[in-house]
Amino acid sequence: MGNVITAILIGAGNRGMDAYGNYALKFPNKLRFVAVAEPIQFRREKFVRLHNIPLEQMYNSWEEVLGEEKFADVVFVCTQDQLHVEPSLKALDKGYNVLLEKPMAHTLEGCTKIVNKVEETGRILGIGHVLRYTNFFLTVKETIEKGLLGNIVNISHRENVSWYHMAHSFVRGNWRNVNLSSPMILAKCCHDLDLLFWMVGDKPKKISSFGSLKHFTPSNAPKNSPKYCVEGCPIEQTCLYYAPRIYIDIIPIIQILEKTDQFGLKVLASLRKNHVRLLTTLSKVIKLLERLRYWKGWPVEPLYSGRPEEVIENYSDETKMEILKTSPYGRCVYKCDNNVVDHQVVNIEFENSVTANLTMHGFSEREGRTLRIDGTKATLIGKFFDSGQKITLFDHFSGTKEVIFSEKLTIEGSAHGGGDVALIDAFLDTLHKSKTKPLTNAFETLESHLMAFAANESRLQAKVVDMENFRRIEEN
């Protein structure tokens, strides 16, 4: 294997194009995409253009590219949750190493098939559990390993999904319906369950869970509200979820900028929110302001998926308004085909008798995780938000507190707190050194995914799941 790892991208959507594609553009001496498989023409051609891929190596689907003889080192599988198993199995069979997006699969059966195939082929398979690679969680892990907390007794971890992320992804968007993607506790929280398993350093013994879809249901729809927000909704002036507020006025982005502790970003937020006409004028001469005025990034980008070519590069307010008349993202949040939970709690007892609980909900004022670890020597409190990160350690004996980690938001955004880049670096390093198990490998991932499937079972059947039994049943 040469110094530059050659790769095939399967699925040039948000993760494939932005996380992995951007990495290769930034570090061309480390990773080079030599082929892409993507059914959406615009995405496929854009990826080919950006990465200088020969046209004969542009494919419409994973079946086509994996039907060829092996011609690269690694395959990045970045399709939606329910399309992870088949391309991964085929790629491993063909002799490729694989970087597979999380979740490994949307069913336990699928996860098990992948793990078995990894064992059978001896190939390397990494999973996109990016949070393990962030400086924030690496600091937490190092603090535990240094013994600064003493023995861990309890962990309280919260996955605070912001109100806008909930509406965008889990009510209107790709992860809204368990039959089309995966249970929310897997789709959103497999990262968190993986972190708990990693931090505790032992297997879970018992799991219980409660949760439901409480708010985003037809019974909460405003009287006389239409199916699409822009069809004359009687409460459009006051509805938190009115689609043009989110996708044209970009209130989510403004709120992220407003919540940082950086003056410059707050000024930009105010300019976008309160002086949009001035911003429009200024954006004609200042590129950075043009980006803020005609926002293309998350959550706007998915609006354009599958749209005709003439609107693809047009981010004007009028075009977005037109798109919202028919886009899934323009729907009333109370009248979608969503069925995933909007809040869930999970209680876990581990083999080493550490207890932990995970709370996930979709009503946070900002996006991010909060973490509290209580140990026999100290307490660690962590805040991992889009708008900034901080870890504080409170030592019991001295009674002192120390900020052991802090990071501010940058205008570039943090790409999962730096985890995206670090994950790819670590994966490529594993390939070069031919180590068989990256930090987030198939075997460890299976254990943390098991926790998600067990939590789902507990919630649905109102029972405590004994993990030893659960593992045994699933093995048979």
Ligand X SMILES: NC(=O)c1ccc[n+]([C@@H]2O[C@H](COP(=O)([O-])OP(=O)(O)OC[C@H]3O[C@@H](n4cnc5c(N)ncnc54)[C@H](O)[C@@H]3O)[C@@H](O)[C@H]2O)c1
Give the binding site for ligand X (CB under 6 A): 10-16, 37-40, 43, 61-62, 78-81, 83, 101-102, 128, 130, 174, 187, 416
Task: Kindly state the tokens that stand for 40.
Answer: 């959406």
Residue 187 vs 265, nearer CB to ligand X: 187
Nearer to ligand X, 16 or 211 (CB): 16
- The per-residue DSSP string of 415-433 comes to TTTTHHHHHHHHHHHHHHH
Q: At 45, which amino acid appears? A: E
Secondary structure percentages of the chain, helix, strand, coil, to 5 = 45, 20, 35
DSSP letter string over 295-351?
A: --STTTGGGGTT--HHHHT---HHHHHHHHTTSGGGB-TTSSS--S-SEEEEEEEET
Strand duo 152-162 + 368-375: pairing: antiparallel
DSSP code of residue 66 = H
Pick 283 or 389: Cβ nearer ligand X: 389
Name which of 97 and 174 has its Cβ closer to ligand X: 174
- For residues 342 and 166, the answer to whether their CB atoms sit within 8 Å is yes
Integer Cα distance of 111 and 115 in angstroms: 6
Q: How far is CA 17 from the centre of its chain?
A: 14
First-to-final CA distance of the chain = 38
Measured at the CA of 100, the angle between CA 102 and CA 84, to 5 degrees, comes to: 80
* Interatomic CA distance for residues 418 and 421, integer angstroms: 6
Q: How far apart are CA 455 and CA 111, in angstroms?
A: 16
Provide, rounded to whole angstroms, the least separation between the CB of residue 96 and ligand X. Answer: 15
State which residue, 11 or 183, has the beta carbon closest to ligand X. 11
10 vs 336 by CB, closer to ligand X = 10
Choice between 75 and 268, CB closer to ligand X: 75
Q: How far apart are CA 374 and CA 246, in angstroms?
A: 38
Query: Considering the complex, what minimum distance in angstroms separates the CB of residue 174 from ligand X?
Result: 6
Q: Which of 169/283 has CB closer to ligand X? A: 169
Residue 63 Cβ vs ligand X, minimum distance, rounded to whole Å: 7
CA pair distance 214, 343, nearest whole angstrom:
8
Q: 171-174: long-range contacts (C-beta < 8 A, 24 or more apart)?
A: 171/216, 171/333, 171/336, 171/338, 171/342, 171/362, 172/328, 172/329, 172/331, 172/333, 172/336, 172/338, 173/302, 173/328, 173/329, 174/80, 174/302
* Shortest distance, position 427 Cβ to ligand X, whole Å: 12
Q: Which residue is nearest to ligand X (CB)?
A: 13
Work out how close the CB of 228 gets to ligand X at its nearest, in angstroms, rounded to a whole number.
Answer: 21
Measured from the Cβ of residue 369, the count of other Cβ atoms closer than 10 Å reads 23
Residue with tokens 């200024």: 282
* Cβ-based nearer residue to ligand X, 21 or 382: 21
Neighbouring C-alpha atoms within 13 Å toward the C-beta of 238 = 4
CA 128 to chain CA centroid, nearest Å: 9
Residue 443's beta-bridge partner residues?
Answer: none
User: Which of 14/379 has CB closer to ligand X?
Assistant: 14
Q: Which C-beta is closer to ligand X: that of 380 or that of 442?
A: 442
